[in-house]
């Protein structure tokens, strides 16, 4: 059943990206994901790609190796080589993150509107599968949901996935299971057995909901997915990295559950309280 789209989108002003349209909000509400063509301006895409190249090298594999994210949680995953983006401290990128927050508020579409806060930003290059990689990140992205990894007490969070160059399916672009954002929590990808993913555990999703074609992105295109939406990607079978920059937001009233968090350091945080404003600023 499609929820009603509750808010007017309106003009959010000129900036590093365009505003989402009412049609895009309706698509996100119905399917749990949406593609925003030409969302980020080319100058901003260039700034982000240049910063990523400086931090990670042309091969996207020259950044420092970090072994663990939290006790018992390995950083190395097949999906991509994640590197913190530091966007809040970089004025032009901070401006993009602020606009992402304002657009996320429109997409979130809560009946009683709430604000949106920054959650994280990182580069997520998928490395070529034909080459050895110091960080991993050169495999497929198993079909999964994000929500359970984030240790927050409510859904509503979403990821803006920005393509920094033009990429088709051969680079390992994402597919989405439309409508899966309404299914509840389906497990943590870290529990999957080797070679298994969420669609092996819940095979009915393929037939009952269907899996989208892998996305085709031009530089500056964004897909937004709810942290409840099942998504995955193939390997990058080209000979160069697939550069993406991810900006994640949460509803402002989301509270830390107290579970050890792999996405952030919970030092000083209080169980059942909203994420602290100094590290997770309100954006909209
Ligand atoms: O970039 C990918 O291949 C996967 C991205 C992803 O899993 C996410 O944004 O949650």
Q: What is the pLDDT of residues 111-149, one digit of tens each?
A: 999 999 999 999 999 999 999 999 899 999 999 999 999
Angle at 45 between CA 17 and CA 67, to 5 degrees: 115
Report the pLDDT value the prediction gives residue 15, as an integer from 0 to 100: 87
Share of the chain above pLDDT 70, in %: 94
From the CA of 11, how far away is ligand 1's center (Å)?
29
Q: Is the pLDDT of residue 6 over 70?
A: no
Report the pLDDT value the prediction gives residue 9, as an integer from 0 to 100: 44
CB of 121 within 6 A of ligand 1: the answer is no
Q: Which two tokens stand for residue 172?
A: 């390992």
176 DSSP β-pair partners: 231
Q: pTM (2 decimals)? A: 0.94
Return the CATH number at 129.
Answer: 2.60.120.620
Taking residues 59-64, report their average pLDDT.
Answer: 93
In a domain, 183, yes or no: yes
CB of 246 within 6 A of ligand 1: the answer is yes
The answer to whether the beta carbons of residues 222 and 173 sit under 8 Å apart is no
Taking residues 191-211, report their average pLDDT.
Answer: 93
Taking only the tens place, the pLDDT of each residue in 35-53 is 999 999 999 999 999 999 9
The answer to whether the beta carbons of residues 239 and 120 sit under 8 Å apart is no
In a domain, 159, yes or no: yes
Q: Is the pLDDT of residue 3 over 60?
A: no
In a domain, 131, yes or no: yes
In a domain, 122, yes or no: yes
Q: Which two tokens stand for residue 53?
A: 């190249």
Q: Is the pLDDT of residue 193 over 90?
A: no
From the CA of 124, how far away is ligand 1's center (Å)?
8
The domain tally of the chain equals 1
In a domain, 216, yes or no: yes
CB of 93 within 6 A of ligand 1: the answer is no
In a domain, 26, yes or no: yes
Q: Which are the contacts of 174, defined by CB distance < 8 A and separation ≥ 6?
A: 141, 161, 214, 215, 223, 225, 231, 232, 233
Range of the domain at 185: 22-251
Nearest ligand 1 atom to alpha carbon 227? 10
In a domain, 199, yes or no: yes
In a domain, 283, yes or no: no
CB of 186 within 6 A of ligand 1: the answer is no
Q: Is the pLDDT of residue 89 over 90?
A: yes
């Amino acid at each position: 059943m499609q929820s009603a789209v509750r808010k007017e989108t309106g003009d959010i002003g000129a900036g590093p990206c365009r505003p989402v349209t009412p049609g895009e909000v309706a698509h996100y509400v119905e399917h749990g994901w949406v593609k925003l063509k030409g969302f980020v301006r080319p100058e901003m895409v260039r700034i982000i790609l240049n910063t990523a190249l400086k931090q990670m090298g042309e091969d996207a594999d020259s950044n420092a190796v970090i072994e663990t994210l939290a006790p018992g949680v390995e950083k190395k995953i097949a999906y991509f080589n994640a590197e913190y983006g530091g966007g809040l401290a970089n004025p032009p990128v901070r401006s993009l993150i602020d606009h992402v927050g304002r657009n996320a508020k429109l997409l979130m579409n809560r009946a009683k509107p709430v604000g949106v806060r920054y959650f994280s930003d990182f580069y997520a290059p998928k490395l070529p599968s034909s080459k050895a990689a110091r960080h991993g990140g050169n495999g497929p992205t198993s079909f999964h949901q994000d929500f359970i990894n984030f240790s927050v007490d409510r859904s509503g969070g979403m990821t803006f996935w920005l393509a920094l160059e033009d990429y088709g399916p051969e680079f390992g672009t994402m597919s989405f299971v439309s409508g899966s954002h309404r299914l509840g929590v389906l497990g943590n990808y870290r529990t999957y057995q080797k070679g298994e993913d969420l669609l092996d555990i819940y095979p009915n999703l393929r037939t009952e909901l269907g899996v989208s074609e892998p996305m085709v992105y031009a530089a500056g295109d964004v897909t937004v997915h709810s942290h409840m939406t099942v998504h995955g990607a193939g390997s990058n079978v080209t000979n160069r990295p697939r550069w993406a920059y991810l900006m994640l937001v949460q509803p402002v009233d989301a509270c830390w559950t107290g579970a050890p968090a792999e996405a952030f350091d919970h030092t000083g945080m209080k169980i059942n309280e909203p994420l602290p404003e100094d590290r997770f600023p309100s954006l909209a």
